[in-house]
């Protein structure tokens, strides 16, 4: 008989509020961009309601009045419950400037926002290009708060990355940059070195150093002979790995080891795919991660896209870890942020057997999408070889919800 558990929906983890005056069209566009980003594939695998984006523009009590109040962490219990983290993005346009200048309720609304920054709330003003805030009430209210990059509204992807980056920093509870390990082969083939400015990994460092990513990523090369594995294991919660996958990358002993250690520690990984002649055989260790293709006609943009995705993976990990605290209450043994694969399942199964020698069940949940039938068959075979041949369940938030909160005892 299946074991029925009481399903307690996980509370929301992140709410993003975009605040603008109805006269500022840039605010509506910013909202659409942020809303689309946090409802993209990068975050769709989390349990429903983990991330939501709300608009605050139209009058709440009357036309032209300030918007509906924000439901922020610390607001107390109730329905709906406030999220664990909140990000507030005031769009500083001419309409908002004039409203704050001439309408005291709007000024008061913005003062509440400006004063809400805390351990769980981050305020991220973004300026509309060309709008002068000098000597304005709006400037006096938000002037002391660090703004998003001045070109965030004009630069494709920059607004979205900047918000995700700031929230990830807040979720980490530290201003220390994330250690991004740049994993790359030391041997080249074909025209890998023909890029203007040198090898591709040098472009990665250059993009990080020349952007606001330098405030978020502390870039390190992984070098053979160093104790990077112990360092990565010790700092897994504040690390990420960018695979610069050139032709010989997958066949090198050290790059294989780097990816293996990162996967076994659930470190966020993104692959920048930069093959020119192709690979002789690839490596089963290298797949099962998000990838970004390199365009040789737009190298800097490709590198930036891979780093943007790495920011999303860092934030996704933080949100899943917060959410999995509640998911574990349903009885799951393993809540990895990446779907199980032989590389990670073998390592985890050996540790689970050692720590729980009498445990005769195995219940796993990971972010969507679910494993395909052939992938699931391989993981089932591994579990059976490890002795878990009667009570194995591998689910995602969607498949668990569709089942009605049932873990199969079989």
CATH at residue 33: 3.40.50
Number of C-alpha atoms within 13 angstroms, CB side, residue 307? 31
Residues 160 and 135 grouped into a single domain = yes
Residues 221 and 290 grouped into a single domain = yes
Sign of CA dihedral 151, 152, 157, 158: positive
Sign of CA dihedral 142, 71, 368, 383: positive
Other C-beta atoms lying within 10 Å of the C-beta of residue 357: 8
**What is the per-residue pLDDT for 3?**
44
Residues 64 and 188 grouped into a single domain = no
Residue where a domain stops, chosen among 324, 340, 356: 324
**What is the per-residue pLDDT for 104?**
96
Residue where a domain stops, chosen among 275, 290, 324: 324
Closest CA to 11 of 45, 52, 53, 56: 52
Spatial neighbors of 44 by CB under 8 A, at least 6 apart, are: 368
Residue where a domain stops, chosen among 171, 195, 223: 171
**What is the per-residue pLDDT for 4?**
44
Residues 88 and 166 grouped into a single domain = yes
Closest CA to 220 of 197, 234, 240, 237: 240
The residue written with tokens 């075979």 in the block is 381
Closest CA to 110 of 23, 17, 13: 17
Residues 136 and 13 grouped into a single domain = yes
**CATH of residue 291:** 3.40.50.9100
Residues 262 and 385 grouped into a single domain = no
**What is the per-residue pLDDT for 354?**
79
Query: How far is the C-alpha of 107 from the C-alpha of 105, rounded, in Å?
Result: 5
Residues 164 and 219 grouped into a single domain = no
Number of domains in the chain: 3
Query: How far is the C-alpha of 230 from the C-alpha of 258, rounded, in Å?
Result: 11
Residues 257 and 125 grouped into a single domain = no
Q: Which token pair is 57?
A: 């523009």
Sign of CA dihedral 80, 82, 86, 92: positive
Residues 158 and 180 grouped into a single domain = no
Residues 336 and 296 grouped into a single domain = no
The residue written with tokens 């990838």 in the block is 291
pTM for the structure as a whole: 0.89
Range of the domain at 192: 176-324
**Residue 235 carries which DSSP code?**
T
Q: Yes or no: say if 155 and 118 are a contact pair by the CB < 8 Å rule.
A: no
Q: What pLDDT tens digit does each residue of the chain (410 aa) get?
A: 444 444 445 678 999 999 999 999 999 999 999 999 999 988 988 877 789 999 999 999 999 999 999 999 877 655 567 888 999 999 999 999 999 999 999 999 999 999 999 999 999 999 999 999 999 999 999 989 999 999 999 998 999 999 999 999 888 877 778 888 888 887 665 555 566 667 888 889 999 998 888 888 888 766 555 566 777 777 777 889 999 999 889 988 888 888 998 998 889 999 999 988 888 888 999 999 999 999 988 999 999 999 999 999 999 999 998 888 888 777 888 999 999 999 999 889 888 887 877 777 788 999 999 999 999 999 989 888 887 766 788 888 888 878 776 665 54
Residues 273 and 369 grouped into a single domain = no
Residues 158 and 273 grouped into a single domain = no
């Amino acid at each position: 008989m299946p074991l029925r558990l009481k399903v307690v929906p996980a509370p929301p983890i992140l709410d993003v509020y975009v605040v603008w005056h109805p006269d500022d069209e840039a605010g509506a566009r910013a909202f659409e961009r942020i809303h689309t980003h946090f409802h993209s594939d990068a975050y769709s695998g989390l349990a429903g309601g983990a991330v939501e984006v709300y608009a605050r523009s139209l009058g709440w009590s009357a036309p032209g009045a300030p918007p509906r109040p924000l439901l922020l962490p610390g607001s107390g219990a109730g329905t709906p419950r406030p999220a664990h983290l909140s990000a507030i993005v005031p769009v500083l346009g001419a309409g908002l400037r004039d409203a704050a200048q001439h309408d005291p309720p709007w000024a008061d609304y913005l003062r509440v926002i400006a004063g809400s920054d805390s351990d769980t709330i981050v305020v991220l003003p973004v300026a509309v290009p060309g709008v002068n805030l000098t000597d304005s009430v709006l400037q006096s209210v938000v002037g002391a708060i660090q703004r998003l990059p001045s070109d965030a509204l004009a630069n494709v992807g920059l607004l979205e990355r900047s918000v995700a980056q700031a929230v990830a920093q807040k979720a980490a509870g530290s201003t220390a940059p994330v250690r991004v390990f740049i994993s790359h082969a030391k041997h080249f083939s074909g025209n890998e070195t023909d890029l203007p400015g040198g090898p591709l990994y040098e472009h990665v460092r250059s993009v990080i150093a020349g952007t606001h990513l330098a405030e978020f990523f502390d870039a390190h090369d992984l070098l053979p002979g160093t104790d990077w594995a112990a360092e990565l294991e010790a700092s897994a919660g504040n690390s990420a790995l960018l695979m610069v996958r050139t032709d010989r990358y997958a066949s090198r002993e050290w790059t294989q080891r780097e990816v293996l250690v990162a996967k076994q520690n659930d470190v966020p990984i993104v692959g920048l795919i930069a093959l020119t002649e192709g690979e002789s055989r690839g490596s089963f260790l290298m797949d099962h991660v998000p990838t970004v293709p390199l365009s040789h006609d737009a190298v800097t943009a490709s590198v930036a896209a891979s780093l943007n995705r790495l920011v999303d993976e860092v934030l996704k990990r933080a949100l899943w870890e917060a959410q999995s605290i509640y998911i574990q209450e349903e009885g799951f043994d393993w809540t990895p942020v990446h779907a199980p694969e032989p590389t990670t399942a073998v390592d985890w199964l050996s540790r689970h057997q050692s720590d729980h020698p009498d445990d005769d069940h195995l219940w796993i949940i990971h972010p969507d999408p679910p494993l395909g039938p052939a992938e699931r068959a391989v993981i089932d075979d591994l579990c059976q070889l490890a002795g878990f041949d009667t009570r194995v369940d591998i689910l995602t938030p969607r498949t668990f919800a569709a089942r009605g909160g049932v873990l199969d005892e079989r």
